[in-house]
Amino acid sequence: MTLIYAGLSLGAVYALVAIGYNLIFIASHSFNFAQAQLMMIGAFVTYMAYVKLGLSSALVIMLAMAVVAIAASIEERIAIRPVADHQTQLITTLGFGTALTGVAQLIWGTEPLPVPFAGGDRVLTIFGGRIFPVEVVLIAFAVVLVVAIHFYTRRFMSGLAVVAMSQDDEAATLRGVGVRKLAFAAFAITGALSGLMGVLIGPKTYAVATLGAALALKGFVALAIGGFGSMYGGLIGGLVVGLVEQHVARYLGSHFTNLSVFVVLLLVLMIRPTGLFGRPQERMV
């Protein structure tokens, strides 16, 4: 049970990355390579706010959300907006993520920093398995976030507008949707969410500059398993990756975790390239 909890909570972290990818993908059809780095910045800000500044939890959350939202807004302005095609956006967002990693290394060094959690670190025992409070919150948060986003996009005008934009931004423009404004808003909001994610993943993963690269890749595997643009798919994909990783680490050794996830990724791409919940598209001339 403990192993399953560990897998699920790690998987929730990956699912959060996948959700971040998906939000940006749905809103602007771009792939944000820097998503995981934004969350990493959130974790560092959380560390600073708790340990160095001694702020209360509410303030910590607000600070992390604000800082990362600003970082994401800057990203939209310099790495997304001036670049028309999505291929080049891969390069520029990767560049932005790399720069964020560099900045984090410069400010906070390369050693992992422990991030405290508001819920304490007293181990809980549930159904015979041991789990940290932050892990419970991580899993719950990922599930709630996915459900909330799903309802939001179905029920509200702005949610529908975002979906319309992802289908065909020209048509959305003609219907009076401000595509650029909305894309910018999507980045800022995803940034704020990433800040919140940073607060929650920090206690689990520690704040470390190299976090970005590993999370970016595992989050992508989650996305590939679930299918691009599918929120539920990303959640399930993340949990699968987490479970695979923990079981392999337990039974084969930690050297094999990345390899096993890589194998999973290759299998998914070979067998079901659109993911479990993705829709295939007919080619157009």
Partner 1 sequence: MRSAWLALRRLPTWSFPLAIGALLLAVPLFEPGYDLTRQIELTLILALVVSGLNISLGYTGQLAIGQAAMYAAGAYTAGLLSASGNTNIALHIVAAGLAALVVGIITGIPGLRLGSWSLAMTSFFLVLLVPDVVDIFEDSTGGHLGLTSMQLPTFFGYVLEPNDLYFAIVWVTIAWFAIFRNVAVSRHGIAFQVLKQSPVLASSLGMSVYRTKLVGYAIGAIPAGFAGALLADLDLFLSPESFGFNLATGALAASVLGGSVSVFGAIFGAGIIQFSNDQATNFAEYALIFFGAFLLIGGVLLRGGVAGFMRTVVARLDRLAGLASASGATTTQAEGQPAAVARIQGGRLVVDNVHKSFGGNHALRGASLVAEPGQVTALIGPNGSGKTTLLNLVCGFYRKDSGSVTLDGVPLLGASDRIARRGVARTFQTPLIPPGVTVRDVVISGRYTVDRVGFLSAILRGPRFRRVRRNDLDRAEQVLRTVGLWHLADTEAVALPLGQRRMLEVARALVREPKVLLLDEAASGLDEAEVRTLAAIVRQVRDAGATIILVEHNFDLVLDVADRIFVLARGSLLAEGTPAEIEANTTVRDEYFGVVGSEARK
Distance CA 113, CA 49 (A): 13
**Contacts with 212 (C-beta within 8 Å, 6 or more apart), sequence order:** 34, 36, 37, 39, 40, 97, 100, 101
| Closest CB 67 distance from partner 1, rounded Å | 18
Let me know: does 72 contact 38? Beta carbons within 8 Å. Answer: yes
178 binds partner 1 (CB under 8 A): no
214 binds partner 1 (CB under 8 A): yes
Among 117, 184, 187, 220, binds partner 1 (CB under 8 A): 220
Among 121, 175, 262, 279, binds partner 1 (CB under 8 A): 262
Let me know: does 252 contact 73? Beta carbons within 8 Å. Answer: no
Which x/- pattern, by CB under 8 A, does the window 147-176 give for partner 1? ------------------------------
285 binds partner 1 (CB under 8 A): yes
74 binds partner 1 (CB under 8 A): no
Q: Is 242 left (phi over 0), alpha (psi -120 to 50) or beta?
A: alpha
Q: Which lies closer to partner 1 via its Cβ, residue 182 or residue 223?
A: 223
| Closest CB 13 distance from partner 1, rounded Å | 16
95 binds partner 1 (CB under 8 A): yes
Q: Please, which residues bridge with residue 113 across strands?
A: 207
Among the residue ranges 39-47, 82-90, 120-128, 159-167, the one whose residues contact partner 1 (CB under 8 A): 82-90
CA neighbor of 113 nearest in space, from 52, 194, 33: 52
277 binds partner 1 (CB under 8 A): no
Among the residue ranges 46-54, 81-89, 133-141, 185-193, the one whose residues contact partner 1 (CB under 8 A): 81-89
| Closest CB 161 distance from partner 1, rounded Å | 24
| Closest CB 86 distance from partner 1, rounded Å | 7
Q: Which lies closer to partner 1 via its Cβ, residue 104 or residue 196?
A: 104
Kindly tell me the sign of the dihedral angle through the C-alpha atoms of 150, 155, 159, 164. Answer: positive
208: tokens are: 């470390």
- Alpha helices in 82-208, H assignment, sequence order: 86-108, 133-155, 157-167, 169-174, 179-205
Cα angle, residue 27 at apex, residues 13 and 84 outer, rounded to 5°: 115
Among 6, 11, 17, 31, binds partner 1 (CB under 8 A): 31
Burial of residue 148, with CB atoms counted within 10 A of its CB: 0-12 exposed, 13-18 middle, 19 or more buried: exposed
CA atoms within 13 A on the CB side of 166: 19
| Closest CB 246 distance from partner 1, rounded Å | 16
100 binds partner 1 (CB under 8 A): yes
Let me know: does 197 contact 20? Beta carbons within 8 Å. Answer: yes
96 binds partner 1 (CB under 8 A): yes
Let me know: does 43 contact 207? Beta carbons within 8 Å. Answer: yes
79 binds partner 1 (CB under 8 A): yes
Positions that interact with partner 1 (CB under 8 A): 31, 33, 78-79, 82-83, 86-92, 94-103, 105-106, 210, 213-214, 216-217, 220-221, 224, 255-259, 262, 265-266, 269-270, 273, 282-283, 285
